[in-house]
Amino acid sequence: MDRINDHSAHVHSTRLSGKGFSLNSIKESTKEKIFFSSIRLFSQIGYNEVTIRDIAKDVGIKSGSIYNHFKSKKEILDEIYEYYDEQWNKARPDIDKLLRMAETDPPAEVLMRMLFDWKPEIKETMNRIYIIATREAMLNSESLKLVQNLVMERNKLVPRLLLERMIELGRIEPIDIIAFVNIFSHVAHSATSLNLTPLKIETEDWYRCWNMLLSIIKPTGK
């Protein structure tokens, strides 16, 4: 197996912030190598199919050395999901700021500003984690939780709050908010799931879909 290298050029600027990961070290630690190797292997082969021996071989260490850093393969998966949660919280838009903008700015512009993308240096890793979670969602409660709560429900929260606020203020005509946020969330889910496949949805196509969805919003002129 090829050793993981998708973070070797950027790892010093995007250190893991919890559970023994250095924020300052330029050289990638053994624990980080295990962590990122696991993400790649789990996303490519499947969590259940990857063994501790596979991870050790990929990193270039003995199998027993893994346990100096992680108690089990399950602990690696748990920390992978924690990492996703942390990065999402860092990247997400400021909801309070968007709600203030909803009172004065053009509705379509406000809704456009709620979109965000991962920084280039972590984008592939975040997409891989999402692939791991969607594959394991039917088998693992933590994976199902990540897909349902950390992704699907969060994707619905911001547009729902903004639409409710703008309708309350009379800035847009009433629409079926539940239907709107469900469509948005499922399109985002599909796009993320396909990002590491030949069926990848390009950013331009994603924004084209989003603009079509925004065409449903009818400003009142207030």
What pLDDT, in 10s, does the model give residues 140-191?
777 787 777 767 788 889 999 999 999 999 999 999 999 999 988 888 877 7
CATH number at residue 85: 1.10.10.60
Among 59, 75, 79, CA closest to 67: 75
pLDDT over 60 (residue 8): no
Of how many residues is the chain composed? 222
Shared domain for 80 and 11, answered yes or no, is yes
Question: Residue 139's pLDDT is what?
Answer: 81
User: Is 158 or 14 the better-scoring residue by pLDDT?
Assistant: 158
Shared domain for 84 and 158, answered yes or no, is no
| DSSP output for 116-135 | ----HHHHHHHHHHHHHHHH
Domain containing 62 equals 1-91
What pLDDT, in 10s, does the model give residues 47-74?
999 999 999 999 999 999 999 999 999 9
Shared domain for 57 and 105, answered yes or no, is no
Shared domain for 18 and 103, answered yes or no, is no
Domain boundary among 71, 91, 111: 91
Among 105, 195, 116, CA closest to 158: 116
DSSP-assigned letter for residue 1: -
38 domain-assigned: yes
Question: Residue 27's pLDDT is what?
Answer: 55
CA distance 17 to 125: 15
Domain boundary among 35, 58, 91: 91
